[in-house]
Amino acid sequence: MAHAKFKCQVLTPEGEVFNDEVEMVSTRTGVGSLGILAHHAPLMGMLEPTELRLYKTESDVVRYAQSEGYLQMAENECLLLVEDAIPPDRLNRSELEESLRACEQEVERAEEGTEEHERHRRDARRYRAFIDIAGST
């Protein structure tokens, strides 16, 4: 069953990653998974690392490893501002695992409650999510 389409744009600090019409956006916020269809109520949310799925049609799905960021749905347009949006086939599992190990060591070294400690915890959460995504391709 075809759904109405709406504009979706994904931006990273490096520039635009995606800009097209979609039938659905599937992502994750701090409170759980989220599926957005056309004419969704206005929404703003903080995004968590996950596999971002952009359904151009039911069978044509564009996938990215999405890092932390923000989502805005307004006036039937969806905007995702994220640190990273990487196609799953470009993820290197061994490099991610190495980065995760280094990050976990930094978490142990950093004083709890400091910005450095929290930054390393966020990075570790992103690496874990990206490793899961790399393993599912």
Question: pLDDT tens across 4-55, in order?
Answer: 999 999 999 999 999 999 999 999 998 999 999 999 999 999 999 999 999 9
Question: pLDDT tens across 91-129, in order?
Answer: 999 999 999 999 999 989 989 989 999 999 999 999 999
Q: What is the residue whose two structure tokens read 């490096």?
A: 14
Question: pLDDT tens across 48-100, in order?
Answer: 999 999 999 989 999 999 999 999 999 999 999 999 999 999 999 999 999 99
pLDDT value at residue 137 = 59
Residue pair 10/78 in contact (Cβ under 8 Å)? The answer is no
Q: What is the pTM of this model?
A: 0.90
- CA dihedral of 39, 44, 7, 34, whole degrees rounded to 10: -70
